[in-house]
Amino acid sequence: MTGAAGFLGSHLARALVARGDEVRVLVRMSAPQIETWGVEVVTGDIRDAMATARACAGMEVVFHVAAKAGGWGAPKEFQDVNVGGTWNMIAGCRDAGVPVLVYTSSPCVVHAHRDVEGGNEELPYATRSLASYPRTKAIAERAVLAAARQGLATMALRPHFIWGPGDRHLLPRLIARSRAGRLRQIGARDVKTDTIYIDNCVVAHLLAADALRGGSAPSGRAYFISDDEPIGVWTMANRLLAAAGAPPVGRPVPAGLAYAIAAMLEGAHALLGIDREPLLTRFAVSELSHAQWYDISAAKRDLGYSPKVTIGEGLRRLAAACTE
């Protein structure tokens, strides 16, 4: 699997080991912590076709979790990692005779910067992107699903807002901005969004692989997965902050103003050649000011997926982890 150093990948790798699978991970640099999980470590970059071929050799299932995420960055890097890396994983599977590939995608591939309430897998891919991340994830997902026509059993899962103990990116950024007084609600609406607790996301990935291996689910399909509890995005943010003992979100900023500020910040960063992500991006504004929740009936039907951990239980676990 790829992405073992990340939030989802690390939990998925350890879950595979725990159920008795022999696991090989492809990571960019060797990490002593990963080696203690009982996995085989292959060092290499998904942008390197030789490394991906080496990692795929002899495998029965490949989980491609790694990606470059975010609303800002050099388009070429997103292209090379998200698209080129996925092409390499597909080729590695084909050349090594790996029968199953499970790809971690995102609902952003279909989110067209408008409210989506109860949408399903019939939604078309978005034709306009505010950042390189959604654009390249859509290209990569299409490639994965198209590979099913050449005999590789593939599936793409679309989790949104993965959260829970062990998150080293989203929650720490939320807490840091909250404590610095730099976290404001975008727009007057507390739009509903999907979330998925980390354990639920891991289970969905395991079910996807097992269903493809057993032939009980169709190949070449994408599935939305979630906690199946749409919740206001700012309500959820405040509940996460409360679990971590951090201050709540500040008063609202009009969405139109936030979008204009984001556009100006992006323009300034581009003009000055600043690599770090702006404080606010147009992609983030769109994500946070539009409803984004989906019907997961297809995942329930084809994969036997149902969330085992409720948002309430997940928040209790998170609060306990934050006090350890």
Q: What are the structural domains of the chain? A: 7-318 (3.40.50.720)
**pLDDT value for 271:** 92
Task: Enumerate the active-site residues.
Answer: 133
**pLDDT value for 35:** 86
- For the chain, give the percent of residues with pLDDT over 70: 100
**pLDDT value for 31:** 78
Residue 39 CA to residue 218 CA, distance in Å, equals 29
Q: Is the dihedral of CA 22, 39, 156, 240 positive or negative?
A: positive
The widest CA-to-CA distance across the chain, in whole angstroms, is: 55
Bridge partners (DSSP) of residue 159 are: 225
Q: With beta carbons less than 8 A apart as the criterion, state whether 71 and 130 touch.
A: yes
Which residues 6+ apart lie within 8 Å of 124 measured at CB? 110
Q: Which of 18, 139, 116 has the alpha carbon at shortest distance from 68?
A: 139
Q: What is the 3-state secondary structure (H, E, C) of 138-195?
A: HHHHHHHHHHHHHCCEEEEEEECCEECCCCCCHHHHHHHHHHCCCCEEECCCCCEECC
Q: What angle do CA 119, 258, 251 make, to 5 degrees?
A: 95
- Mark the ranges of the chain whose per-residue pLDDT is less than 70: none
pTM attached to this predicted model: 0.96
**pLDDT value for 138:** 98
